[in-house]
Amino acid sequence: MNICVFCGSAAGNNPLYASLATEFGKLLAEGGHSLVYGGGNIGLMGVIADIVLENHGKVIGVIPSFLAQREVAHQQLTQLEIVGTMHERKMRMAELANAFVVLPGGWGTLDEMAEILTWKQLGLVNQNLFILNSNNFFDPLLDQMRFMVKEGFLRQENLDSVVIANSPQQLFSMIP
């Protein structure tokens, strides 16, 4: 199974997040799954890619040319695809993915997650989206989503389609 991971190009201030990415990457490789991700060698993206590779897993990176030119493209991947734009990157990752997993990150991570959730709501993708909510990182965002339902801007069934896990082990036990 190709698992597309959205996560930070930074490691964050708490070393727990790098540990989380390490544990997730190890479980992904041990389970025989392939990683699809944004192709970077920095932050949590670099951590997870390195761990999957160290554990003899397959890693497919998709990165826009302007980021590859900034020397943030991971050069040791199983496969690196260079695309023209950020939008093409998200489209290509979605084409490759059998499931989506969101780990801690910033604007880019939120953008990728929101686009997939929108596409899922519109029926453009059917893959499951999992949020790895370790350290309660996503609690404020999940509260906002619940408020969106309460205020009539999001249907409950759309929110219910988001699968929440609190640990990498729990998440992998939920993947069909």
Residue 23 in any domain: the answer is: yes
Residue 110 in any domain: the answer is: yes
CB-hemisphere CA count at 13 Å for 55?
A: 21
**CATH at 41:** 3.40.50.450
Residue 108 in any domain: the answer is: yes
Query: According to the model, what pLDDT value does residue 87 have?
Result: 95
Residue 26 in any domain: the answer is: yes
Domain residues for the domain of 33 are 2-171
Helix (H, G, I), strand (E, B) or coil at 9: coil
Question: What would the pLDDT profile of 40-54 be if each residue is shown by its tens digit?
Answer: 999 999 999 999 999
Question: What would the pLDDT profile of 72-84 be if each residue is shown by its tens digit?
Answer: 899 999 999 999 9
Residue 90 in any domain: the answer is: yes
Nearest Cα neighbor of 62 from 54, 70, 73 is 73
Residue 148 in any domain: the answer is: yes
**Is 56's pLDDT higher than 90?**
yes
If one counts the domains in the chain, the total is 1
**Is 71's pLDDT higher than 80?**
no
Residue 176 in any domain: the answer is: no
Q: In angstroms, what CA-CA distances link 80 with 59, 73, 102, 130?
A: 8, 8, 21, 24
Q: Are strands 128-132 and 162-165 parallel, antiparallel or unpaired?
A: parallel
Question: What would the pLDDT profile of 135-176 be if each residue is shown by its tens digit?
Answer: 999 999 999 999 999 999 999 999 999 999 999 999 999 997
